[in-house]
Structure formats: C-alpha cells, structure tokens
A and B are shown apart, each in its own frame.
Chain A
Amino acid sequence: MSQNILQVTDLSMRFGGLLAVNGVALSVKEKQVVALIGPNGAGKTTVFNCLTGFYKPSGGTILLDGQPIQGLPGHQIARKGVVRTFQNVRLFKEMTALENLLIAQHRHLNTNFFAGLFKTPNFRKSERDAMEYAEYWLEKVNLKEFANRTAGTLAYGQQRRLEIARCMMTRPRMLMLDEPAAGLNPRETDDLKALIGVLREEHNATVLLIEHDMKLVMSISDHIVVINQGTPLADGTPEQIRDNPDVIKAYLGEA
C-alpha cells in the first residue's frame, strides 16, 4: 500500500461557542480519490478551509507528507502542493483563460524585475515554457479555442473546468475540489467524471472532494468520509457507506 499523503487527526474548528468541526480524521493516499460527504451544514467546507489554511484550526494535526501544516497561511500551504477549487467558481473573471493559467504558474516563473525589463533570454524561455504548459492543459480540458476569451464570459461548465486546469498548473501534490459538479448538467457531470479519471490515471493526481451528487461520488471514490454536524459519522469504501444505517439515517431522517 502506498504512503499517506495527507493525514488528518482529531481536527476541530471552533467559532466562539459553535463547534463547527469536531474530531474529524481522514487520510488520503497517493493517487486516491477520497470524497467528503454529509448533509448541508455538516462542516465539509469548514474542513476544507482548515486544510487549505483559510481557517486556523482550533485543534488537531494535519500532516502533509509527514510534515505538520496546520496553522500555516493559505499561500504557504498552496506552495506545499495543496491546491483547491471553490464552491462558487473563483476565476479571475476580467482576465483571459490563458492569463488565468499563467498566474497559477507565478511561483515557477522568472519574476526577476530586471530580467523582465530587458527581456533576457532566460525570461523569454520561462514565459514560453509557461505558455506551453498552459496550452497543454487548455487542450486537456477542451478550452483551447477559448484561450483568449475573458474567463467571465465562458459558460459555467467551462469555468469549472478552467478552474481545475488552473489548479493543475501549480503542479499540485493534492487537488481539493469543493463541489465540482454543483450547477452542472448531467452531461457536464459525466465530462467532469472523465476528467477526474484522466487526472488520476495520466497525471497521478490525488483528489479530495466534497460532493452532493451521490452517483458521481459512489462511482469515482476509493474511499468516503461522512461527517454530520461537524462530527465524523462513517468512513469506508463506497459499498460500506451505501449500506451504513447511520448514514442513511443522517440523510433521510429516522424511518
């Protein structure tokens, strides 16, 4: 069995008197797709925010490749390779699709002021490589023809795909998708499923996702973690979760 990339133990997040997340544990292995599910308001996005440094967790440990990352600022966690999308798409709407992808590579580019001022060969090469990599991914998500369209004018499904491509530009260790299928029609959802499959097979991506579309979750996940009202409820393979009476109760209420 491959090694754990992400190991979360006893994670808790408190907002004043409200314990939004309490004792959540999860572990993600290399090339796995792990889903985090639960009813509305269960604290799934709060867990995401803790993992990506947007919130500072009140307790627990988060280990990325064995290194603790809890409490680090968001951009540092992102630099360590944990990159996320958002529930409501957060693209740079006034900028073109291509520029969106170039920004995500910021860290890998030559940002030297004088190199850019005088367009040194080194700078040109760095920019050209970035363009090529962006082009590669635009092709992957079928958006190449829209490269110079401003991101805000793309269709919703395309925006979702562009956001995933933008994450991949950072060469992430782990990709975190917050409700990637929200607002997509069934065909687009199928495309998304295929895309996640490609990411995993061809690009060794490790994915942690929040999703409400059970059909999608059950078909792509290797492992599912269910939380309810901030506390872990169940944890297992899709089959185990489907038959778990507690999960059914939480979703459908007392029979």
Chain B
Amino acid sequence: MSKSLRSALFSAALVWAVAYPVLGLKLAFSGVTLVVQNASTGTLLTIAGCSLLMFLRVLFAERIGGLRRDSSRPLIPAKASNFLTLPSTQRWFILALVVLAFIWPFFGSRGAVDIATLILIYVMLGLGLNIVVGLAGLLDLGYVGFYAVGAYGYALLSHYFGLSFWECLPLAGLLAATFGFLLGFPVLRLRGDYLAIVTLGFGEIIRIFLRNLTDITGGPNGISNIEKPTFFGLSFERRAAEGSQTFYQFFGLEYSPIGKVIFLYLIALLMALAALFVINRLLRMPIGRAWEALREDEIACRALGLNPTVIKLSAFTLGAAFAGFAGSFFAARQGLVTPESFTFIESAIILAIVVLGGMGSQLGVILAAIVMILLPELMREFSDYRMLMFGALMVLMMIWRPQGLLPMQRPHLELRK
C-alpha cells in the first residue's frame, strides 16, 4: 500500500508541477514592465481538483485495472477493427468520401472550404512523405524543402516568365524531383538517425538559401501577387484582364466571391486524388514492394540483386515530386510565398501526419491530415492551450493506437488453386 501511496502522492505533485506554471501563472503588464500574477482562484481550484483525481486514480490503479479486466473489451472490437482495415472496406469508404468531397463545398461556407483546401494540401504532402518514410523507411526531416522548391518554382516561373499555373505544375514537380534526386545522391548512403539529421539540414539550407537570395526571390518578403489558376484560361476574379473573360462572363453567371475558393478546392481535390491513385498503384508495382523490402532488410535486398541506391533514390525522388506539386498549388492558393512558410515545424507536422495515420497506410494519412489541420482550427478559441491539447492528443495516441489510426494492411495476393 505504501508504494502505491507514494506513487500517488508523486503523481499528484506532478500535476501541480506541470499545471501550475502553465495555467496557474499569468504574465501581465504593469506600466511597461511584465509582472507575474497568480491566476484566479477558480483555476487554482481546478488544478487542485485535477491533482486530487490523479491521486485517487493512481492510488486505486490496480483495483480500477481489475475492474476493467473483468469486462475486458478493447476500445474497438477486434472484428470491427479488422473489418475497418480490410482493403475492400477501405476502397468503398474512399469512394464514398470522394463523392462527398466533390459535392459538399457547394453547400459549405467559405471558411470551411478554405480549411478543406489546406487539409488537401497536407494530404498530398502526407502521401508523398509516406513513400519516403512509411514505405522506404528513410526518415526525412527536411521534406518541407521540396515543398518550398515547388512553391518557389511556380512563383518564380510565373513572376519572371509569366507562365500559367497549369504550365508550371508539371515543371514544379519536375524541379522538386530533380532536387530530391540531387540531394538524395550524397545522403542516401547514410542510415537512420544520420539520414534524419542530414535531411533536416538540407531542409533548412533550402529555406535560408531562398531567404538570402534577395535579388531573385525577394528575400524575407517573398514573392507576392502570384497568379491564381484559371479554368481553361477563364479567371475567377471579378474583372478579367484585358482581352480575356472571367468564368462568370463566359457562362453568363453572376459573380460570387466563393466561386474562386471552390475552384481552388476542386483543383486540390483532383490533385490529391491523382496522388492517391498513383501511389496506390506504385504500391502494387515491383518498385513499391522493393521499397518495403528495403525498409525491412537492406542487406537481404542486396543479396537478392536489388540495387539499394537506385531504390532509395527512386523513393526520395518520387516523394519530392509530390511535395513539388503540393508546393506549386500552395503558392497559387496563397498568392504569396515567403521563406517563413517552409520552416522545420512544417516538416514536423507532415511527419506527424504520416506517423499518426499509421506508417504506409493511405487512408490513415488522409484521416490524420484532417485531424492535424482541423483540430488546431477548431481549437482557435482555446488558442492559449492549443499546443497543450496537441501534446495531450499525441500522448493519447501513443497509449491507445501506437501503430497509427489505421495501420497498413498487407495486400492479400490470391494464388490460383
């Protein structure tokens, strides 16, 4: 008993130690100096209540555990969880989602459609990084670098050469892929942690390079007034440029400001679906299997005549290409690119999406992207505690689903009887 009492006291104290500095103290201005104030009695009472609950929880942990074991049922019944992760279920689920995704923006609010577009960008990025991290097992912490290359690729081509979004999209992907290929060459002989550090460095180098190349990229101010995508040459602005028409004039519709947002959303949706399709196919191709084999055992791969360098490089290059596509769309949507959009935290978010979703799982990545982008948006009112909740979510995930929201299932290959 004394042992559980001690650990219970410790846990209660820990609640105070964590919660008091975060919630219990406030910084306030007194004239020009900052002073530390105690928070309201209500907050302190809440913390005290929490610590008491924690105390009881730990004190009676064993008895609670025993109770739960009696009615031992996992969070999701095994049958349901198995059904949910079956490839055929996932396919139908995806199909339903796709139909829904095409219809709802016409009834949604402008803000919602805008956030959905952002989510789709992260879906694309997550799917791309999933190739590199989830399948090929190469921990890439500088993925945002390729995203930046794609975004700046479009911004610069449009700014200096007046190319349109649709001309630049493949070019930006190609550019990012080239970067991935070139950076991949020297770093891919590294493994695990070393690779992570070097890619982290490359990501930062690209960002800082873009910031310091003031003459061309505008430095920290970035490039603004980037052209928006057009619908076969028809723009979605209120007034068209000289000698061209707007979408509304051409179809004789009334101008509506949400049209532009919906159009961007639909482009993002199509791009994300294309990425999904291509990556899905890649998985079932020899190269996809080779990526996974490489993650499992590089030495065995070599003994079977697979060239590890080529396989790694292909994963890195393809992953970068998807980041490039996402980047050029991002630039077109924002109309502005600055180096500050491509900081390390972006890489971390994308990586979190891949890990949260379940390494290698496509549907998992989509779900995780929704959770990761939507939650901070929904929690705007609690903006002070946003990061705290984020952390709590991560911890809960680690406890309940360490393998990710929807872990990858191996394709079941049917042998002819």
Q: Point out residues on A near B: beta carbons under 8 Å.
A: 52-54, 73-76, 78-79, 83-84, 86, 90-96, 98-99, 102-104, 106-107, 109-111, 113, 116-117, 119, 131-132, 135, 138, 144, 147-148, 150, 166-167, 170
Which of B287, B301, B415: most chain A CB closer than 10 A?
A: B415
Contacts of A132 in B (CB 8 A): 416
**Chain A residues in 8 Å Cβ range of B304:** 75, 78, 83, 103-104, 106, 166-167, 170
Chain A residues whose C-beta falls within 8 Å of the C-beta of B287 in the assembled complex: 111, 113, 116
Taking a contact as CB atoms under 8 Å apart, the answer to whether B413 and A106 are in contact is no
- B205 → A minimal CB distance (Å): 29
Are A99 and B410 in contact, with the CB atoms below 8 A?
A: yes
Q: Given B281, B289, B296, B410, which contacts A106 in the complex, CB threshold below 8 Å?
A: B289
Cβ < 8 Å to A, chain B residues 274-290:
278, 281-282, 284-287, 289-290
B305 touching A79, Cβ below 8 Å = yes
Which residues of chain B come closer than 8 Å to A75, judged between CB atoms?
301-302, 304-308
Q: Contact string, B388-417, partner A, CB cutoff 8 A, digits 1/0?
A: 000000000000000000000011110110
Chain A residue with the shortest CB-CB distance to B284: A116
**Residues of A contacting B293 in the complex (Cβ-Cβ under 8 angstroms):** 92, 95, 103
What is the distance, in angstroms, from A172's C-beta to the closest C-beta of chain B? 9
Question: Is B303 a contact partner of A109 (Cβ separation < 8 A)?
Answer: no
B145-174 CB contacts (< 8 Å) to partner A: none
Question: Does any Cβ of A come within 8 Å of B64's Cβ?
Answer: no
Q: How distant is the Cα of A110 from the Cα of B411 in the complex, in angstroms?
A: 19
- Name 14 A/B residue pairs within 8 A (Cβ), A-sorted: A75-B306, A75-B307, A75-B308, A78-B302, A79-B305, A92-B293, A95-B289, A95-B410, A102-B289, A103-B289, A116-B285, A119-B281, A166-B304, A170-B305
Kindly state whether residue B299 has any CB partner on chain A within 8 Å. yes
Which residues in B have some Cβ–Cβ distance to A below 8 Å?
Answer: 278, 281-282, 284-287, 289-290, 292-293, 296-297, 299-308, 410-413, 415-416
Contact assessment for A91 and B303 in the assembled complex, using a CB-CB cutoff below 8 Å = no
Contact B286 A109 (CB under 8 A): yes
CB-CB under 8 A from B415, the residues of chain A are 98, 131, 135, 138, 144, 147
Q: Which of A98, A106, A147 contacts B290 (CB 8 A)?
A: A106
Most buried by A among B286, B307, B413: B286
Decide yes or no: A78 and B305 within 8 Å by CB, A90-B300, A117-B281 being known contacts: yes
A92-B293, A111-B285 known; 19 new pairs, CB 8 Å cut-off, are A75-B301, A75-B308, A84-B303, A86-B303, A90-B300, A93-B296, A94-B296, A95-B410, A98-B415, A103-B304, A106-B304, A106-B305, A111-B287, A113-B287, A116-B281, A116-B282, A138-B415, A147-B413, A170-B305
Task: Specify the chain A residue showing the minimal Cβ separation from B314.
Answer: A113
Q: Please give the distance in Å from A129's CB to the nearest CB on chain B.
A: 12
Inter-chain CA distance A120–B299, complex, in Å, is 32
For B301, the chain A residues whose CB sits under 8 A away are: 75, 103
A52 CA to B247 CA in the complex, in Å?
A: 65
Chain B contacts for A90, CB-based, 8 A: 297, 299-300, 303
- CB closest residue in chain A, given B300: A90
CB distance from B360 to the nearest CB of A (A): 9
Whether B296 lies near A148 (C-beta < 8 A) is no
Which residues of A sit under 8 angstroms from B411, Cβ to Cβ? 99
- Nearest Cβ distance between residue A50 and chain B, in whole angstroms? 14
Please determine whether A86 and B300 come into contact, CB atoms closer than 8 angstroms: yes
Residues of A within 8 A of B308 (CB): 75
Specify the chain A residue showing the minimal Cβ separation from B415: A135
A166 to B300, CA, bound (A): 10
Partner pick for A148 among B286, B290, B413, B416, CB 8 A cutoff: B413
Bound complex: CA A95 to CA B292 (Å): 8
Residues in chain A near residue B297, CB distance under 8 A: 90-93
CB-nearest residue of chain A relative to B410? A96
Q: With A and B bound together, what is the CA distance between A138 and B282 in angstroms?
A: 25
User: How far apart sit A132 and B303, CA to CA, in the bound complex (Å)?
Assistant: 23
- Chain B: CB-nearest residue to A80: B305
The distance in angstroms between the C-alpha atoms of A155 and B157, with both chains bound, is: 58
**Would B285 and A94 count as touching, CB distance under 8 A?**
no
Using CB atoms, name the residue of chain A closest to B282: A116
Cα distance A96–B292 when bound, in Å? Answer: 11
**A150: nearest residue on chain B (CB-CB)?**
B410
Give Cα A167 to B304, complex, Å. Answer: 7
A77 to nearest B CB, angstroms?
8
Flag if A107 contacts B305 (CB, 8 Å): yes
> A95: shortest Cβ distance to chain B, in Å?
6
A19 to B415, CA, bound (A): 50
- Nearest A residue to B412 via CB reads A148
Closest to B360 in A: A94
Distance of A102 Cα from B289 Cα, bound (Å):
8
Q: Which residues of A contact B299 (CB under 8 A)?
A: 54, 86, 90
CA distance A146 to B69 in the complex (A): 34
B289 contacts which chain A residues (CB < 8 A)? 95, 99, 102-103, 106
Task: Please tell me if the beta carbons of B290 and A103 are within 8 angstroms of each other in the complex.
Answer: yes
